[in-house]
Amino acid sequence: MAAFFRGHRNNQMKEANNNEVDLLLRSFARERSQSRPQSGSAGDGERVFSDHLDADELNSYAEGVVPAAARARYTAHLADCDACRGVVIGLTQATGAANRYEVSEPQGGLSFWQKLAALFSPAVLRYAVPALVLTAAIGLGLLALRQQRRTEFLARNEPVITQSPQSETSSTLKPTQPPATNQNATQPEKNTESTNERSKLQDQKIQAGQAPLIGESSAQKAPGKDSGEPVARAGAGAGVEDLRPSYAPEPKKEAPAPAVARDAEKSAELAKVQTANREDQDRARNEYKSQPTDEVHGPSRSSNNAALPASQRSAGLMGARGPSVNKNKNNAEVETRTVSGRRFVREEDAWVDTAYESSRATTKVARGSDQFRALVADEPGIRAIAEQLNGVVIVVWKNRAYRIQ
């Protein structure tokens, strides 16, 4: 680049030098014409006139038919003889020689090396190099922009890949899944889906990778026991950190899980199916793509998400999934609600976190008190729970149990 600018500067200097010489020559010619007597075309005296070119030589020169050796001699004379040069000029213009040579340049052509040298001449490089640099910069910018878009697409598409088997599995589980009964509660689910879809689906990917362990732990855990949850949450959190792309949004750990309740046995089965049928994922993916959108985002998908532990289901979800009625093995109807990733069971007049153990000590927090305001300010997840669940709420939050009343 430095060489280019140096060459460019040299070119400018040469042009300036040429311009100076051009001005000097113009002035020289002007002074000469002013100092010479106006004697017409007869610029030379009698003595010199005898040495002039005759009419035939002048005409042959003007028509360009003089042999090379004679032409050089005539040229030398014409360069110094105004009279003969004037005749040749007149003859050239009269015969239209200028038009004749107008087309002679392309016909004569340049050799390959002359053309190559002209291509890399400073006059061409002066404009070509900046144009190339500009083009390269634009190209790199477009490439970077495209890469950025690609990464965005990657982050969005990841869940689609892992979600398909669940959809397929969910279709097999549909007959055993009771549909959501509360329409009012399902409405906010749709609203929050779009905003938290990425985090939610990413959790589903994690679920697919750790399904056997999670399913096993879920199966071992009895309802109401939260002993294994912190471990599962920690493991899930680590999985999120490991698998999540750096550009993916930070999952919200306090976000609620999908709405549909699940029992532990079905979760375990689902997880096993997922790990055992890796090969079917491609096929399932294709099927997923062909499925209507309503199916994917419908209640069935929520039921699939229920296979996750609460901590994993909650990532990115803040909204409640609304109350639903689950049938347990004994077909007893239990009113449950899921808020901020916590599943609550209605027990008498209180909503009890399924992770709560009755033997566990609780911290009582009165609604509207300073302690309550401080708690909800620090923990927005608890705020959501307290707002959406009326009455007494027992929630396990960060390994501590709170009784909000």
Partner 1 sequence: MSQREEQIERIFAEGVSRLVARATDNHGLTGETLIPRVRAVVGKYILRDDAQAPLDVIKDFIDKLQADDLCLIVACEQGNQKAWTDLVERFSATVRSAARSASSNEEGAEDLAQSIWAELHGLRLRADGKPAGKLAYYSGRGSLAGWLRAVVAQLAIDQHRKQSRLVQTEEDADFDRIIQHGPEENTWSGHGGAPNPELQISAKLAGEQMQKALADSVKQLSAEDRLLVKLYYFDGLRLRQAGAVLGVHEATASRRLTRVHAKLRQQVERILIEQDGWTRPETERAFTEVALKLEADIEPLLATEGVLMNEENEVTG
- Choice from 95, 171, 182, 405 touching partner 1 (CB under 8 A): 95
- In the complex with partner 1, the residue whose CB is nearer, 98 or 222, is 98
Which has the closest alpha carbon to 343: 354, 334, 332, 359?
Answer: 354
- Choice from 78, 284, 382, 385 touching partner 1 (CB under 8 A): 78
Contact region with partner 1 (CB under 8 A), list: 78-86, 140-148, 156-164, 301-309: 78-86
Q: Work out whether 113 is an interface residue with partner 1 (CB under 8 A).
A: no
Q: Work out whether 329 is an interface residue with partner 1 (CB under 8 A).
A: no
Q: Work out whether 102 is an interface residue with partner 1 (CB under 8 A).
A: yes
CB of 116 to partner 1, least distance (A): 17
CB of 57 to partner 1, least distance (A): 8
- Choice from 1, 37, 290, 329 touching partner 1 (CB under 8 A): 37
Q: Work out whether 64 is an interface residue with partner 1 (CB under 8 A).
A: yes
- Choice from 87, 273, 284, 393 touching partner 1 (CB under 8 A): 87
Rounded Cα distance between 400 and 405, Å, is: 16
Show contacts with partner 1 in window 44-63 (CB under 8 A): 44-46, 48-49, 52, 54-56, 58-60, 62-63
- In the complex with partner 1, the residue whose CB is nearer, 78 or 317, is 78
# binding residues, partner 1 (CB under 8 A)? 75
Q: Work out whether 179 is an interface residue with partner 1 (CB under 8 A).
A: no
CB of 122 to partner 1, least distance (A): 13
CB of 87 to partner 1, least distance (A): 4
Q: Work out whether 104 is an interface residue with partner 1 (CB under 8 A).
A: yes
Which has the closest alpha carbon to 253: 328, 200, 332?
Answer: 200
